[in-house]
Chains A and B, each alone.
Chain A
Amino acid sequence: MTNSFKKILLGDQGLVVIFVLAFALVSVFVPNFLTERNMLGLLQSVVTVGIVACTMMFCLAARDFDLSVGSIVAFAGMVAVMASNATGSIMVGILAALLCGGAVGLINGVVIAKFRINALITTLATMQIVRGLALIASDGRAVGINDPNFYQLALSKLFGIPSPIWVLAILFVVFGFVLNRTVFGKNTLAIGGNPEASRLAGVNVDWTRIWIFTLQGMVCAIAGILLASRITSGQPNAAIGLELSVISACVLGGVSLAGGRAAIAGVIVGVMIMGIAENVMNLLNIPAFYQYIVRGVILLLAVLLDNLRSSALGRR
């Protein structure tokens, strides 16, 4: 490897460079990859992971962890479908889902920040509780959508692009702004860097952490509503294992699990890399079993790269 090439790879934009290279390679060598249809399909497939990754980024940046996201997505989807079926109003369904998602997040946040219970344990517990609630509410079966207008949430298009992709794009922009340009974002990063020093510098640590989890719950609800609309029903078993894909995507995107380091560009690239890997494997008809291995390897490589980068910068 020449020196300047090494510098680019290990620089701040290293991942973006790798992404662009990988994208170019794949476009050339994989048939049917760079078609409009495949591109839209690719983006559709990353909507859920991408939306949840927006707030997971905050969670990880503040040195926290959230395992309950998959369950909240399923639960909120159920709530949206059931509430709109019961009232006949899609709006009520959406609001109920947002409320329920936010409530679960709020509970996570309060338990973690105020009662100082480890985030891993807390969200492991709520992950199971919430999944249980979804199963109980539906008696373990999928609940069909009555009002066909509900499908339009996922099917409608603007300028030829499906609305879920627009939602994803808007959330990326909004949370990117929040992370870099607001007090809330900077406080999140500071808490991740050194929670005690942040508290002594006047940061409202508990409040910030509670908000992070509440937002996470609400954003999961958005993902859940769109997912339910796409699969035309509320599925209590939807989004199992989502937390792992989301955290992988964030880590791939350079979000440090030790807190204090995160960037929206990285997260977007992380989400896209995971999406492309899956998409390409599908196009090449690689059996699903191998896909697990590939995903794991990609994650390991990304973390290794991150490590190399840190030591190249002389951080210890």
Chain B
Amino acid sequence: MSFLEFSHISKAYPGVQALSDVSFSVAKGAIHGLMGENGAGKSTMIRVLSGDQHADTGDIVIDGQVQKYASTRDAFHAGVIVIHQELQLVPELTVAENLRLGRFPANAGVIQARQMFSEVGEKLKSAGIDIDPRRKVKTLSIGERQMVEIAKAIMLDARVIALDEPTSSLSSRESEILFALIERLRAEGKVILYISHRLDEVFRLCDSLTVLRDGKLAAHHPSLENVTREQVVAEMVGREISNVWGWRARTVGDVRLKAEAIAGDKLMQPASFEARAGEILGFFGLIGAGRSELMRLVYGADLRSGGTISVDGQAIRAVDPRQAIRAGIVLCSEDRKHDGIIQGRSLEENINISSRRHNTRFGILNPRKEAEIAETYIKKLKVRTPSRKQDILNLSGGNQQKVILGRWLSEQGVRVLIVDEPTRGIDVGAKSEIYEILYQLAEQGMAIIVVSSELPEVMGICDRILVMCGGRISAHIDRNDFSERAILAAALPDKKTPDAIAS
């Protein structure tokens, strides 16, 4: 009894066959997982579903009816709601306004603001989302924005809801709220398409699963009962991955980065920490705990109101990123859309933007060298692209992330590498390769700081973890003492039982 059916869908972009002849169907009241490597065609699939892109061939059938929509509006009227990988909210509007955009409660053209706020507030509360509807979206963290997007789907009466990597920027607590919401939608008989790179989530949540590979259907599991994770990974990447983390012991050297009493607007109290050569230091915390803020202060991306930073014992000024980079500190930020990719420019330019200063003469570029570097990192990070000249906007989300990592890996003379959510949106296979690169860099003596909201990730790859909570550093845990309980206890502001989340 399939409710939603994809039938022989193909879609090509210039130079890329994003989907070729993909067919599968999903039953009513089911959560259906969609997995695959970066660039496998998952987002393209739901872009076709949402009417945002037209399939070259093939049909979408909902409830027995072949859908022929010309725009996202038609899809919307057919009951399809898609939450895209890159969020689409209006930053200058409030949460409530965003949720009611296009359907404001109005009286003779005047918006009934009080009514709108109270209605939206109630709906949010009943959905378990704790966000003030009067706040402007631009003041929300990425995680909170994600929750608002999801609330949008809940408030419109959708039949089919597709979520593209919804948890990639959520912390475990927020993910739990999301899962509860999704399960409730399933109970109401909706069809849910769920894209994620996280096997744990997919196995926990989904009833059925489709795996895409290079734009083709690699596997379809109508039920997950006798399916193992290893099997799915193998279907995705075409080989077995025994241990994603692959952590190994390293010798740790002298202090490379020493940050003392770093103060800024968003930190509750000044923070101090140090990172040693050869060490991988993790920063864990809930969203809004102040980890990214602290890193941005160290990097000079935001204005520090106090504190000193030294690299290899030498005090540095680092009041803007340029100086930090020259002193050997680089930061790969968490928000790749806003702070990472240079829209409209090629992969090659995106990779070389910082490191090119080592290859220029009197400000004149060395195109051959830049091409070489671009090719090196495209290969090393397995970026899926028809050419290095491709506009970065045309890459899949995970591949964009790889390009931004490539930008910093290609920088020379880095002593402290700070990566904020480095594997956001990156598939399992590529993840383990990126970890391997981090280990190698650490072995060469770099100090590496990994900020992550994924507890298994920080526990899997770090030598030491600093936990932040409510704008201050709340715990310091060595690898020997790693335990989910201890880390979560330090991360939670209200010191309630961490079991609810750890489970």
Contact = CB atoms under 8 A, between A and B. Distances in A.
B407 interface: yes
B493 interface: no
Most chain B C-beta atoms within 10 Å of own C-beta, residue among A186, A192, A196 = A186
A37 interface: no
Contacts of B349: 186, 189-190
A194 interface: yes
Contact of A256 (B344, B356, B364): B344
A314 B56 CA distance: 13
A204 interface: yes
Contacts of B407: 201
Interface string A198-236: 111111100000000000000000000000000000000
A313 B325 CA distance: 35
Given A189-B349, A194-B343, A202 B354 contact: yes
A209 B53 CA distance: 37
A259 B344 CA distance: 9
Contacts of A202: 321-322, 325-326, 353-354, 357
B339 A186 contact: no
Contacts of B14: 313-314
B365 A261 contact: no
Contact of A197 (B322, B339, B363, B365): B339
A192 B391 CA distance: 14
A196 B393 contact: no
Given A181-B364, A186-B353, A260 B342 contact: yes
A59 B354 CA distance: 22
A261 B391 CA distance: 11
Contact of A200 (B53, B339, B356): B339
Contacts of B367: 181
Q: Report the contact-size class of chain A (Cβ under 8 Å from the partner).
A: 20 to 34
B394 A190 contact: no
B344 A261 contact: yes
B410 to A, nearest CB: 11
B394 A193 contact: no
B338 interface: yes
Contacts of B339: 196-197, 200
Contacts of A194: 338, 341-343
Interface string A252-282: 0000100111000000000000000000000
Given A190-B349, A197-B342, A260-B342, A182 B364 contact: yes
A24 interface: no
Contacts of B326: 202
A189 B407 CA distance: 17
Given A183-B360, A186-B365, A193-B344, A200 B13 contact: no
Interface string A297-316: 00000000000000001111
A200 B333 contact: yes
Q: Report the contact-size class of chain B (Cβ under 8 Å from the partner).
A: 35 or more
B364 to A, nearest CB: 5
Interface in A94-116: none
A190 B353 contact: yes
A313 B365 CA distance: 28
B357 A183 contact: yes
Contacts of B320: 199
A315 B395 CA distance: 11
A184 interface: yes
Contacts of A192: 344
A260 B364 contact: no
A300 to B, nearest CB: 23
B340 interface: yes
A132 B338 CA distance: 41
A198 B322 CA distance: 10
B391 to A, nearest CB: 7
Contacts of B391: 313, 315
B363 A193 contact: no
B353 A198 contact: yes
A181 B360 CA distance: 10
B116 interface: no
B363 A184 contact: yes
Interface string B353-386: 1101100100111010000000000000000000
A44 to B, nearest CB: 32
A260 B345 CA distance: 7
Given A197-B341, A199-B320, 17 more contacts: A181-B367, A182-B364, A183-B363, A186-B353, A186-B356, A190-B349, A192-B344, A194-B341, A197-B340, A197-B342, A199-B321, A200-B331, A201-B342, A202-B353, A203-B353, A313-B391, A314-B394
28 contacts: A182-B363, A183-B364, A183-B365, A184-B363, A186-B356, A190-B342, A190-B349, A190-B353, A193-B342, A193-B343, A193-B344, A194-B338, A197-B339, A197-B341, A198-B342, A199-B321, A200-B331, A201-B321, A201-B342, A201-B354, A201-B407, A202-B321, A204-B322, A260-B343, A260-B344, A315-B391, A315-B393, A315-B394
